[in-house]
Amino acid sequence: MFDSFRSRLRGCLRHMSSTTPLTPKHPALHLLWALPLALFLSYYTLTISVLAYCGFGACTADQAADLGNLPDALAPLGLTVLFIAVPIFAVAWSRSLRLRAVVAVVSGVVVATVGFASLVAAGP
């Protein structure tokens, strides 16, 4: 009785191991969940950087032109770049590490710059 159960279990496990690989066939598909999560987290760091730059309330034209508060906003902007760059670099969508690093940093800087500028223009 137990021998037939063991042989069936071995057959099932052998079949499962031959049909389901341990690594995904297309690892770039992990970007479909990693990037929305990174954008969600980076929105809050962008909001903190706008609050550090403008204070509560919308930025006036004088506040937006004044760069005196910019050092206070740089730390959250750096976190935004990090939140965007880490998933792009970590997911193996390309074999070249250099290409993934360059694309990750450039996309993080672009998202942080565009997000910061649009939130400063609209207000927090």
Domain boundaries, the chain: 27-122
CA distances from 11 to 6, 19, 22, 32, 67 (A): 8, 12, 18, 35, 69
Q: What is the pTM of this model?
A: 0.70
Confidence band for 24, pLDDT divided at 50, 70 and 90: low
* CA–centroid distance for 50 within its chain: 20
User: With pLDDT > 90 as the criterion, what percentage of the chain qualifies?
Assistant: 27
Asked whether the beta carbons of 42 and 80 are under 8 A apart, the reply is: yes
Judged against a pLDDT cut of 90, whether residue 10 lies above it is answered with no
pLDDT, tens only, 47-105: 888 888 877 776 766 666 666 677 888 899 999 999 999 999 998 888 889 999 999 99
Closest CA to 42 of 82, 90, 87: 82
pLDDT of residue 70: 78
Per-residue confidence (pLDDT) for residue 26, from 0 to 100 = 78
Q: What is the pLDDT of residue 30?
A: 82
Torsional sign, CA 92, 95, 98, 102: negative
Distance separating alpha carbons of residues 120 and 62, to the nearest angstrom: 12
